Structure 1
């Protein structure tokens, strides 16, 4: 039996290779189809105990398509190329966060 190397994991899907835009779009479509409101957050620290997430603009309450959210993810990447970026989705009925996954990790 072999022990895996210690590697920091971030959020859902962190054990997978980075998601491409098509895979991110599918997750966003799932969130939008369920009536969840997506939001984009970023953080500059890579240490889990120091992670402080900052909201990128306001949550995308009126988003109708994954492309709208992907556009904002790209804008966030351009503004903060050294930041970790994640998408979170909120359910306004249950008033809880229902989905959260990392979409960009700096090299």
Structure 2
């Protein structure tokens, strides 16, 4: 059996915290973020963008960036909103969500921009 890698992460070290599956992988570049948005759109899920301060990511609700983009299928429009949120809040984590209306749950959720703790 191969050795399992330990991912050092703690509540005290804000930079080490993990946020779901994608956070254990290298940071996504623009191309990979686009692919995730394309996937969300292809599934018919409604995209939404949230943000929060890194130090509050685990103990507070995340702030909604505008309203969810119900029925939006333009990948560039979704990416533009995510980038606008990041530019407006450069120190915050920005999370992309794909909400599945049928299952009434999140079909996808990932931090696409990591903020810097103050």
Give the TM-score band, short-chain normalised: 0.7 to 0.9
Q: Which runs of 5+ in 2 are unaligned?
A: 10-15
SS in 2 for 1:14: helix
Q: Distance in 2 between matches of 1:103 and 1:51?
A: 19
Secondary structure of the residue aligned to 1:72 is: helix
> Which sits farther off after the overlay, 28-37 or 61-70?
61-70
Give the unaligned 5+ runs of structure 1: none
| RMSD between superposed Cα atoms in Å | 1.8
Return the TM-score normalized by structure 2: 0.80
Aligned to 1:5: 8
Give the aligned partner of residue 79 of structure 1. 88
- CA distance 1:3–1:9, shift in 2 (3 Å): closer
Partner residue in 2 for 1:96: 105
**TM-score under structure 1 length normalisation:** 0.88
